[in-house]
Structure 1
Amino acid sequence: MKKGVLLVNLGTPTTPTAPAVRSYLSRFLMDRRVIDVPRPVWWPILHGMILPIRPSRSAALYRKIWTKQGSPLLLYTQQQTRQLQRLLPQQVVRYAMCYSAPTVDTALQEMQQLGVTDLTVIPQYPQYSTTTVGSVFDQVAAYFMQHSALPQLHFISSFYQEPRYIKALANQIKRALIKQPDAHLVFSYHGIPQKYADNGDPYPQQCTATTQQVMTLVGDVPYTQSYQSKFGPGQWLNPATAQIMHQLPQQGSKKVIIITPGFVADCLETLQEINHENCDYFITSGGTDFTYLHPFNGSQTYTQLLATLA
């Protein structure tokens, strides 16, 4: 039996340009798990309103976080994959992206060609949502529906309750609190439409469970849980992180420590939206100290967690 591990994350444009962002967004926003709107309704909105305008704006934001080596999300995913391969030398470790290269199909095809007969798929999302983990599952299932041979398949639907994950977050917060013991702590999770939660998506409950488990280890510190990255006019999970950043200074909290437990690698939503936009909201509203705690990125602690999951 030959074992393999496939790490799957969201994806990224190949370059911080409007054409590359348009290509990425078109794949992302056509996923029915992400946008649960009838195609005849959504198609003209996407191609008539969003794709002609949004790529240029998003490309400008991507350019602010882009490195000389490329997309931060891609670079950290590659680093996590290399580190996990070193920890699991007898297994085949690869990564894939849902909406950019290398695709899930490409990675699974390589696994088959290398003779992998026991495969663990780990979506890089600690909390389950139909919009993220559900989409990964769809792509994996769709691939094997087209092939006769099926490996022994293990699919990690969430890992928000893993002790290593909770302890790593708590330790990161404790280190920050040593420097700023009077700071207000904010847990910012990527939002989803409220109707998804109403239809049974367990994501908000898993986010709350994550926060509570972490705070059990952190102790008696004031904190708030919020949601970011709202897209479109519909109702999303509340409260919004941007709203909290405006409110905290007015409520007397001039120092804030913000952590994003739903992300395992820095990307546009963390580096630009949190560390720049929300930082500006906080400071212009009267805050004095804004501390952003980066995701695991290339941390060996996270690689050890992946090895445990595998």
Structure 2
Amino acid sequence: MKGILLVNLGSPDSPNPKDVKEYLGEFLMDERVIDVPLWARTLLVKGIILNTRPKASAAAYQKIWWEEGSPLIVISKRLQKKIQHKVENYPVALAMRYGSMTIKKGLQELVDKGVDEVLLIPLYPQFAMATTETILVLAEQIRKTHFPNIKITDFPAFYNNPDYIEVLSNSISKHLEGKTYEHLLFSYHGVPERHIFKSDVTKSHCKIDGSCCATPSSAHEFCYRHQCLEVTRLVAKKLQLKTGTYSTSFQSRLGFDPWLQPYTDRTIERLGKQGIKNMAIVTPAFVSDCLETLEEIAMEGQEIFHEIGGKEFTTIPCLNDDDPWVELLSKWIMNWAEPSIAERV
């Protein structure tokens, strides 16, 4: 029997500093998030970050926490429920890479329903060490240890899938309808530059020099930077955006190592200083709104823009559980489960 496991990032169980500290500890101790030797990661995370950051992070979570719980979890559950309705013959489970909704629990839920073949869908459009790769590696470890009799098929990154680009573009267009804006900023979650070099299967193509991402290469299959820039390019083409009216940036940097640039906060500030009074921002590295989109972008980003003299700051929601996104995911699932009837979904 076939089943589907949707996997997103995760969330603390509550915005309480204790729960946030536990969540951050698991997240930041992941060797694919902070990819330094264990001793250095332990010193940094347990010796410094977890003694300083949980209180501030908890305050940020408290700003965006919904009555039903974590926005990311609530939205993901809504998405799961809608997809289950669409693909009713195939169990759909939901898991998170970090936190209490573990991948092991998600797989166990499917196995208990008789599933022995799983389509694992990381809910990230682009491939990255700290997102897709860590999910796939952990899922395979869990499968080998606890569920050796099941087969897992990994759903690939869909950043350049024409149907995805159309759904994303239509969503952006819908939320900008009637809005006046001078610049559309595509903000993606940042990663350290070394992650790009580590993911380069050619070991020579990626140079982050302004041209490598536009030069065809097998490295692009696992290059997060290329895939982000490609989403911007494809959406801009779809929406017929004029050169100079849109740009790409990267948010959420941590530590002092070089991260992908330009940085979102500095880009917002620069746009304001250049005289932009009305701007919009979209976050296509996420399919579900979360702390980074609701607090860092919608609140902090807006504050930066207003402080520099900007007026209208329009934040475009993620795809969340919008019906076109549900339809597309369901179509992909049915194409895997029953290719002959996929078009009927």
Whether 1:280 aligns to 2:303 is yes
Q: 1:144 — aligned with what?
A: 143
Q: Which moved more, 1:158-167 or 1:26-35?
A: 158-167
Q: Is the CA contact 2:181–2:280 (under 8 Å) kept in the aligned structure 1? A: no
Q: Which moved more, 1:54-63 or 1:157-166?
A: 157-166
- 1:100 is displaced (CA, Å) by 1.0
Q: Which moved more, 1:168-177 or 1:64-73?
A: 168-177
Q: How many residues align?
A: 309
Amino acid across the alignment from 1:128:
F
Q: 1:306 — aligned with what?
A: 329
Q: 2:129 — aligned with what?
A: 130
Whether 1:209 aligns to 2:209 is no
Whether 1:257 aligns to 2:280 is yes
* CA shift in 2, pair 1:267/1:148, >3 Å: closer
- 1:182 is displaced (CA, Å) by 4.4
Deviation digits for residues 134-171 of structure 1, max 9, x if unmatched?
A: 01101111011214633332101311122222112212
Q: Which moved more, 1:190-199 or 1:162-171?
A: 162-171
Whether 1:218 aligns to 2:239 is yes
Deviation digits for residues 212-258 of structure 1, max 9, x if unmatched?
A: 11111111331010000111111100000101100112223211010
Deviation digits for residues 183-238 of structure 1, max 9, x if unmatched?
A: 20100000000111122250000011111111111113310100001111111000
1:45-64 matches, within 5 Å, as 45-64=44-63
Normalising by structure 2, report the TM-score: 0.87
- 1:126 is displaced (CA, Å) by 0.5
Q: Which SS does the other structure have where 1:159 is aligned?
A: coil
Structure 2 residue aligned with 1:271, among 267, 270, 294? 294
RMSD: 1.3
Whether 1:293 aligns to 2:342 is no
Whether 1:233 aligns to 2:256 is yes
Q: 2:154 — aligned with what?
A: 155
Q: For residues 78 and 233 of structure 1, what CA distance do their matches in structure 2 show? A: 36
Q: Is the CA contact 1:188–1:228 (under 8 Å) kept in the aligned structure 2? A: yes
Give % identity: 37
- 1:177 is displaced (CA, Å) by 4.3
